[in-house]
Amino acid sequence: MSASGGTKAIVAALAANLAIAVAKFVAFLFSGSSSMLAESVHSLADSGNQGLLLLGGKKAKREATPQHPFGYGRERYIYAFLVSIVLFSVGGMFAIYEGYEKIKHPHDITHWYWPVGVLVFAIIAETFSFRTAIKESNTIRGKQSWKEFVRHAKAPELPVVLLEDLGALVGLILALIGVGLALGTGDGVWDGIGTLCIGILLIAIAIVLAAETKSLLLGEAAGVEDVKKIEAAIVDGETVPAIIHMRTLHLGPEELLVAAKIAVRHDETATEVAAAIDAAESRIREAVPIARVIYLEPDIYSETEAAKGPDAEAAPGGPVPTTDH
């Protein structure tokens, strides 16, 4: 997996979650806290999720085959989608069930120092993991807001780890509040309410992850900046005076397909057209290195047709608006 895949952040999250899962389960055995049980399952599910992300990154490296000529880059999207399912079912639904049972049949928390101590340790460990994910994300986020980064990132691993770590930190705080209120009031119902809130939080995060990775699985175009770079690289004003229409598609986080109908002048020979296409492809790859699969179709440029305005169906015609890519 490339550096942009956030391998360091995934490994940091995996190490933190495995340690936290064991600590939480031990705290549950000694205290009987349902929040601790829900949180231990949550951390165990998160550990499995990080394993899925690493597996997806490994499988995505496979070479293209005749059956899969565009390679396996989308494996990373598939495994990220599986993460959202695991988070929803194993993490969220289990926590809601456990919280409901604890509210219905409350019991006192014993050995209070176990859950409190483990929660403090878990918050410290998760903060380290979250800090690593933020640092890794900042190297590629640019000027995007965090919301824009999660919504528009083509590599799914970092947004997944960020949301998981954020959910884990908020969940730990909810668990600490639930345990604290249960200990302070002597009413175990508060522990169940905290567990219920954790479940709702995890399901909300799982739905966001599922929606974003579904969009990637369906196929997303290149980002706005990359589209502008590709358009500028194709049109040189001489051999390629205009783009009639263009489409881009991510075959994986770091592999982009570019298909365009380009305008050429009517008096150019086949040799000159072929040379213009080769030069345009070289300019595209230099401007956007992840554009690895490029198909350029030439058509006769007509100033009269181009003057009529953008029309993706025209042959020839003017370039379509960038929002239509």
State how far the alpha carbon of 228 is from the alpha carbons of 179, 216, 223, 234, 287, in Å: 53, 21, 9, 10, 10
Domain assignment present for residue 278? The answer is yes
The type of residue at 178 is: G
- As a whole number of angstroms, the distance between CA 189 and CA 66 comes to 59
Q: Give the pLDDT of residue 280.
A: 94
Name the region of 237 (left: φ>0; alpha: ψ -120 to 50; beta: rest). left
Non-local (6+) Cβ contacts of 77 within 8 A are: 56, 156, 213, 216, 217, 252
pLDDT score of 323: 41
Co-location of 62 and 211 in the same domain: yes
Nearest to 282 by CA among 292, 271, 272: 292
| Residue 162 contacts residue 134 (beta carbons within 8 Å) | yes
What is the model's pLDDT at position 320?
42
Integer CA distances (angstroms), 167 to 198, 203, 246, 289, in order: 9, 10, 40, 35
Question: The whole model's pTM is what?
Answer: 0.73
Tell me whether residue 213 is in a domain.
yes
At residue 237, the pLDDT reads 79
Lowest mean pLDDT among 33-42, 139-148, 219-228, 302-311: 302-311
Give the pLDDT of residue 302: 66
Q: In 3D, which of 294, 291, 214 has the Cα closest to residue 261? A: 294
Residues 272 and 138 occupy one common structural domain: no
Closest CA relative to residue 40, chosen from 175, 159, 206: 175
Is residue 271 located within the same domain as residue 296? yes
Q: Tell me, what's the pLDDT at 63?
A: 87
Q: Is 31 inside a domain boundary?
A: yes
Distance CA 79, CA 244 (A): 37
In the Cβ-directed half-sphere of 201, how many Cα atoms lie within 13 Å? 24
Q: Which two tokens stand for residue 183?
A: 């200990």
Q: What is the Cα–Cα distance from 168 to 166, expressed in whole angstroms?
A: 5
Mean pLDDT of 181-209: 88
pLDDT confidence of residue 24: 83
Residue 87 falls inside a structural domain: yes
Tell me if 321 is assigned to some domain: no
State the total domains in the chain: 2
CATH number of the domain residue 52 falls in: 1.20.1510.10
The token duo for 110 is 């014993």
DSSP characters for 126-190? HHHHHHHHHHHHHHHHTT--HHHHHHH-SS-HHHHHHHHHHHHHHHHHHHHHHHHHHHHHS-THH
Residue 297 lies in a domain: yes
Asked whether the beta carbons of 233 and 226 are under 8 A apart, the reply is no
Both 206 and 247 in one domain: the answer is no
Q: Do 70 and 214 lie in a common domain? A: yes
Checking if the pLDDT of 279 tops 90, the result is: yes
Among 218, 247, 269, the domain-final residue is 218
CATH at 289? 3.30.70.1350
Same domain for 38 and 175, yes or no, is yes
Say if residue 302 is in the same domain as residue 271: yes
**pLDDT over 70 at 305, yes or no:** no
pLDDT classification of 281: cutoffs 50, 70, 90:
very high
Residue 36: is its pLDDT beyond 50? yes
- Measure CA 88 to chain center: 16
Average pLDDT over residues 211-228: 89
Give the residues across from 252 on adjacent strands: 255
Q: Are residues 59 and 135 in the same domain?
A: yes
What confidence category does residue 325 fall into, taking pLDDT thresholds of 50, 70 and 90? very low
pLDDT at 324: 42
Structural domain for 261, as ranges: 224-308
pLDDT at 3: 42
Phi, psi (rounded to 5 degrees) for 204: -60, -45
Q: What is the pLDDT of residue 233?
A: 94
Residues 69 and 180 in one domain: yes
Q: Does residue 111 register a pLDDT over 80?
A: no
Which of 169, 191, 218 lies at the terminal end of a domain, its last residue? 218
**Domain match, 118 and 27 both:** yes
pLDDT in tens, 45-104: 888 888 888 898 888 888 888 888 888 888 989 998 988 888 888 788 888 988 888 888
Verify that 89 and 232 share a domain, yes or no.
Answer: no
Of 218, 239, 270, which residue sits at a domain end?
Answer: 218
| Percentage of the chain modeled with pLDDT above 70 | 90
- Asked whether residue 252 falls in the same domain as residue 205, the answer is no
pLDDT at position 1 is 44
Q: Answer yes or no: is 320 within a domain.
A: no
**Structural domain includes residue 316:** no
Q: How confident is the model at residue 232 (pLDDT cuts 50, 70, 90)?
A: very high
CB 8, CB 132: distance < 8 Å = yes
CA torsion angle 217 220 222 224 (round to 10): -140
Mean pLDDT of the chain: 84
pLDDT for residue 321 is more than 50 = no
Residue scoring higher pLDDT (248 or 2): 248
What is 182-240 written as a DSSP string?
A: HHHHS-THHHHHHHHHHHHHHHHHHHHHHHHHHHHHH--PPPHHHHHHHHHHH--SSS-
pLDDT for the residue numbered 310: 52
